[in-house]
Structure 1
């Protein structure tokens, strides 16, 4: 059993589409804030942590001027509560 709030590895095949979308989002946000031109290549590793939503710790590969580099990104996804009566 994982410790509440602890960081756990996400298996490579689990949530790969969501991980790619989050990684692309992180690269796009970085590019906007830093006036950079990184190009997303692939997700290398994903860890997640439950903290009033989910904090994703994503290791990704992106090209910077044609040279591939590895980056770390943290993306917090808030829980969306739906009340049903």
Structure 2
């Protein structure tokens, strides 16, 4: 129970930082570090989780094709900010995904299309 309360508080703070950063960009509020190996198994697991959760909530059938860019930030776990390329039928589209990943669970915080690529 204590861990759940702590995780909820951490996610709330992270969401607030990301929302504030939407106007001033989160880079000034969160120390993002580039991911060196975008083919790392954990990076792909996080990206696939993001697409799966989006598909469940939006009732779509996107398929992950590539992780084009990625950054992480440590905050009571690891937060991943990924630029993904997905297939939507025959179309290739780009989405930004932000996933909070701890040892116990993952939470999709954001999955939005990247403007100009839709």
The verdict on a shared fold, with TM-score over 0.5 as the criterion, is: yes
The answer as to 2:54 corresponding to 1:30 is: yes
Flag the 1:15–1:50 CA change in 2: closer, same or farther, 3 A.
farther
Give the gaps of 5 or more residues in structure 1: 81-85
SS of the aligned residue for 1:36 comes to: coil
More helix by share: 2
Q: TM-score, normalised by structure 1?
A: 0.80
The answer as to 2:78 corresponding to 1:54 is: yes
Q: Which residue of 2 aligns with 1:9?
A: 34
Moved over 3 A (4+): none
Deviation at 1:14, TM superposition (A): 6.2
Give the gaps of 5 or more residues in structure 2: 1-29, 105-118
1:70 pairs, out of 94, 97, 118, with 94
Higher relative contact order (CA 8 A, sep 6+): 1
More strand by share: 1
Question: CA RMSD, aligned part only?
Answer: 1.6
Q: TM-score, normalised by structure 2?
A: 0.59
Inter-partner Cα distance in structure 1 for 2:101 and 2:49: 12
Is the CA contact (8 Å cut-off) linking 1:52 and 1:79 kept in structure 2?
no
Q: Which residue of 1 aligns with 2:10?
A: none
